Structure 1
Amino acid sequence: MRASAAGGLSLAALSGAIRRNPAYLHQYVTRGSPRLLAEGDRRVLAAMLGVSEAALGGPADGPVDGDASFALPRLDIEASAGPGAYNDGELVLGIDGVDGKLARALRLRPGKAGLITVRGDSMEPGLLDGDQLIVDLTDRAPAATARVYVIRIEGAIMVKRVGAGEGRLTAVSDNPAATVPVGEIEVVGRVVWRMGAPR
């Protein structure tokens, strides 16, 4: 599945997204087992990879719905708005859907966005503990005007306001009482939408 490599998702991660064992899609690709993907699995994978169901063995004349839900992988990381959540690597926990019109308005690309959960209070009042964030994984180049990004510092994942200037990135918390760890900033993606309880 060339589309999985292009989208930066491993076959094991995609298998997890459809709640199968990590070797499921590897066996499908290399051994032809199963011969056909289940309809539900095919639909989710097609949405994640931005390909037609026909490309995954589905019927060539399948329905097309321009307003269909846009599939977002729920990543097994929490963007700490506190000291930072340590993580060895992002894994796909499952798939959530957002409105297709919203996805188009945000210019999300299949396989290039994810959903994560905020933990902590360092980005209050803008982001609260438990908020769900849609992250555009293609936007990894902060500008001089700081915006909210998911970043990694020394292996810790966190959400901070990040800007670029004088040849380096700077990260700050919105909560003035919170600090940011010292270390090299690696940008994971830009926060483009917040979902949370009414305030």
Structure 2
Amino acid sequence: MVETDPRAALADLAAARGDSLAALSAILGRNAAYLQQFVRRGSPRTLAERDRRMLAAYFGVDETMLGAIARPAPFRLPRLDVAASAGPGALVDGEIVLGTDAIDPALADRLGLRDGQAAIIRVRGDSMAPGLLDGDHIVVDTADRWPGPRGGVFVIRIDSATMVKRVVPGVDGLLVSSDNPEAGAVPTGEVAIVGRVVWQMRVLR
């Protein structure tokens, strides 16, 4: 990616519109020499955020052209109309996308998420309390479908029921349990892992 010199960019934008640097300085409420000194002497070294924002809006360009630091795009993931039950299991006929939410790309990178391989799902029930509560939204990494020797919390399907449970590998297959000791028994049947729960999105209560 080729970086643009903000001083040269400003001079080119002003010349293209026939605006003098003095006139542009006046628009900013600065003295007449302000932008001329910026372009020709490099003083100030960078434009003030307010000045940069006003000039970008005036010329209809992105602020990065005038020296703003480019911010990485947010990591977007679908919010599914699926309740991952922390109780007996929610019946699911299909996964309907309600919309998309965004998380910080640095967080997505730290969690190891990849585009198209993560989703947000709502928790229903309290069998995973106190870690997960009814109504919590969780980020599920659908690329991670193996618990490993230490296990973890996963969204799983047993028959047509979708639920969130703790899963660890056992001698005879996967062992599924609830964190809440007062929860009812986990349904029996073949376990299919949807993905690992990697983040909890909770509104303060």
| Shorter-normalised TM range | 0.5 to 0.7
Question: Secondary structure at the residue paired with 1:102?
Answer: helix
The match for 1:127 is 132
- Larger Rg belongs to: 2
The match for 2:191 is 185
TM-score, scaled relative to structure 1:
0.65
Question: Secondary structure at the residue paired with 1:143?
Answer: coil
Question: Secondary structure at the residue paired with 1:180?
Answer: coil
1:68 matches 2:73? yes
Please give the alpha-carbon distance, in whole angstroms, between the structure 1 residues aligned to 2:97 and 2:195.
16
Distance 1:65 1:150, change over 3 A: farther
**How well do the aligned residues superpose, as a CA RMSD in angstroms?**
1.8
The match for 2:88 is 83
The match for 1:145 is 150
1:195 matches 2:197? no
Q: Matches of residues 14-25 of structure 1 in structure 2 within 5 Å? A: none
Deviation at 1:187, TM superposition (A): 0.1
Residue identity opposite 1:78 in structure 2: A
Distance 1:65 1:93, change over 3 A: farther
Q: Matches of residues 38-49 of structure 1 in structure 2 within 5 Å? A: none
Paired residues, number:
137
Q: Which has the larger displacement, 84-93 or 182-191?
A: 84-93
Deviation at 1:145, TM superposition (A): 1.4
Indicate conservation of the 8 Å contact 1:66/1:100, yes or no. Answer: no
TM-score, scaled relative to structure 2:
0.63
Unaligned runs of 5+ in 2: 1-64
Residue identity opposite 2:168 in structure 1: G
Distance 1:97 1:177, change over 3 A: same
Residue identity opposite 1:195 in structure 2: M
The match for 1:110 is 115
Indicate conservation of the 8 Å contact 1:116/1:135, yes or no. Answer: yes
Please give the alpha-carbon distance, in whole angstroms, between the structure 1 residues aligned to 2:70 and 2:188.
47
Unaligned runs of 5+ in 1: 1-62
